């Protein structure tokens, strides 16, 4: 009966109730969208990073930890081969490749600028960045004298696919070396500062230029990113038993900023949750205060008939509960609908912290629905407490006298 009366009271003033429900609905739609987006953004950043870096990398520990330049800790080819063989034999390994990185100059007679080059194995998007090409094509064979430039670097040099540029660098032995290469493509890279200096060349060509046959690091991709750490531990053990001078670093060890990125996103979600809670609390408080005070005389009537203060209080709080449940459900459904429509647009973006473009999706799941629902419920029930208490505290005579 309490629920029946409360429900009917809630829908007594339809316009006012609709305003409450609208505020709750809009708040929850925003909240569930933000929660769903943030959850996906973290995942997308993780996927993007793991796509570029691999689930883990193998190399000289000093190089992997950034304490030495790549050329100081090159892996001899036979050791690199053994590491690759070891890794490729593991279950759940999606792919593996080798890279070497070096710094140099790139340009033509009009001028040169700093180049941060990566010697890569053209194979598939994971290893050769082909999916980030915005003009021209990706690299051909592993020996070709070709280069793919960051789009900004290309613009700075004033070159386009088909043009030739000179690349100069120091060899492993410390002498200078240079070559003329053809620009075959331009890529877009998430970080602008990197894109201004980035060049991709085939690994074989890079090795000739550097006069080495070693590689700097082995990148390994897994089917299941979450298994990076156990694999890394296992490989580290294998390397020490085989006395290989190698270490393994997982993708998140290689990107210490990812943890702070995650903290930032969580704080953002938390802040949005709080903001929506406060929004719902105050708007429902206002509506309920007016609505409850209008019914003070009814309170007087039922108290005169013998209803307790507790019953009156519970009745009003039940109204808050009903609004919370209805608004919470409506908001969760609206939030899910908006998210699904958004997902159906199939947009892509480079997630913050990542460089590889990812589909933008908004997660729709238990937490993006349940948290907004609980926020609505909590905020409306909380906002009903004060006006409910105010009405329940009145004496019967006071309540009956009010008009």
Residues that bind another protein (CB under 8 A): 1, 5, 8-9, 12, 297-298, 300-309, 311, 395-397, 400
Q: Which is nearer to another protein, 1 or 366 (CB)?
A: 1
Q: What are the helix (H) ranges across 226-358?
A: 228-241, 251-254, 257-294, 296-304, 309-344
**Shortest gap between Cβ of 323 and another protein (angstroms)?**
15
Pick the closest to residue 80 from 264, 220, 176, 221 (CA basis).
220
Q: Which is nearer to another protein, 15 or 110 (CB)?
A: 15
Q: Which is nearer to another protein, 62 or 297 (CB)?
A: 297
- Look at residue 168 and give its three-state secondary structure: strand
Q: Which is nearer to another protein, 101 or 309 (CB)?
A: 309
Q: Which is nearer to another protein, 197 or 303 (CB)?
A: 303
Pick the closest to residue 105 from 209, 190, 214 (CA basis).
209
**Shortest gap between Cβ of 22 and another protein (angstroms)?**
22
Task: Give the relative orientation of helices 296-304 and 309-344 as an angle to the nearest 10 degrees.
Answer: 140
Rounded distance, CA 87 to CA 104, Å? 31
**Shortest gap between Cβ of 223 and another protein (angstroms)?**
60
The DSSP call for residue 159 is -
**Shortest gap between Cβ of 33 and another protein (angstroms)?**
36
**Shortest gap between Cβ of 310 and another protein (angstroms)?**
9
**Shortest gap between Cβ of 285 and another protein (angstroms)?**
22
Do the Cβ atoms of 285 and 19 come closer than 8 Å? no
Do the Cβ atoms of 254 and 53 come closer than 8 Å? yes
Do the Cβ atoms of 320 and 356 come closer than 8 Å? no
Q: Which is nearer to another protein, 164 or 401 (CB)?
A: 401
Other C-beta atoms lying within 10 Å of the C-beta of residue 18: 12
């Amino acid at each position: 009966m309490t629920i029946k009366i409360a429900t009917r009271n809630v829908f007594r003033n339809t316009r006012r109730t609709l305003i409450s429900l609208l505020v709750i609905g809009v708040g929850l739609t925003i909240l569930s969208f933000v929660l769903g987006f943030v959850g996906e953004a973290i995942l997308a950043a993780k996927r993007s990073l793991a796509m570029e870096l691999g689930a883990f990398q193998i190399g000289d520990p000093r190089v992997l930890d950034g304490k030495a330049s790549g050329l100081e800790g090159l892996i001899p080819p036979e050791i690199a081969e053994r590491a690759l063989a070891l890794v490729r034999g593991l279950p759940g390994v999606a792919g593996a490749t080798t890279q070497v990185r070096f710094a140099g100059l790139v340009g033509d007679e009009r001028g040169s600028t700093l180049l941060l080059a990566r010697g890569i194995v053209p194979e598939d998007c994971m290893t050769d960045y082909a999916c980030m090409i915005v003009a021209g094509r990706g690299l051909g064979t592993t020996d070709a004298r070709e280069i793919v430039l960051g789009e900004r670097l290309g613009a700075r040099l004033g070159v386009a696919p088909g043009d030739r540029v000179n690349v100069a660098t120091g060899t492993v032995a410390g002498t200078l070396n240079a070559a003329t290469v053809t620009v075959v493509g331009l890529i877009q890279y998430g970080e602008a500062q990197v894109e201004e200096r980035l060049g991709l060349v085939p690994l074989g060509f890079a090795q000739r230029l550097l006069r080495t046959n070693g590689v700097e690091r082995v990148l390994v991709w897994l089917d299941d990113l979450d298994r990076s750490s156990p694999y890394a531990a296992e490989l580290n053990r294998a390397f020490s038993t085989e006395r290989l001078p190698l270490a393994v670093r997982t993708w998140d060890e290689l990107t210490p900023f990812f943890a702070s990125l995650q903290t930032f996103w969580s704080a953002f979600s938390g802040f949005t949750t709080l903001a929506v809670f406060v929004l719902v609390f105050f708007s429902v408080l206002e509506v309920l205060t007016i609505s409850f005070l209008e019914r003070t005389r009814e309170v007087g009537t039922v108290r005169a008939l013998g209803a307790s203060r507790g019953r009156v209080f519970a009745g009003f709080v039940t109204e808050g509960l009903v609004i919370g449940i209805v608004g919470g459900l409506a908001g969760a459904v609206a939030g899910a609908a908006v998210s699904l429509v958004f997902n159906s647009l199939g947009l892509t973006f480079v997630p913050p912290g990542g460089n590889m473009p990812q589909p933008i999706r908004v997660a729709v799941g238990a937490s993006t629905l349940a948290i907004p629902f609980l926020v609505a419920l909590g905020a409306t029930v909380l906002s009903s407490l004060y006006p409910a208490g105010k009405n329940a505290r009145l004496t019967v005579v006071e309540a009956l006298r009010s008009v």
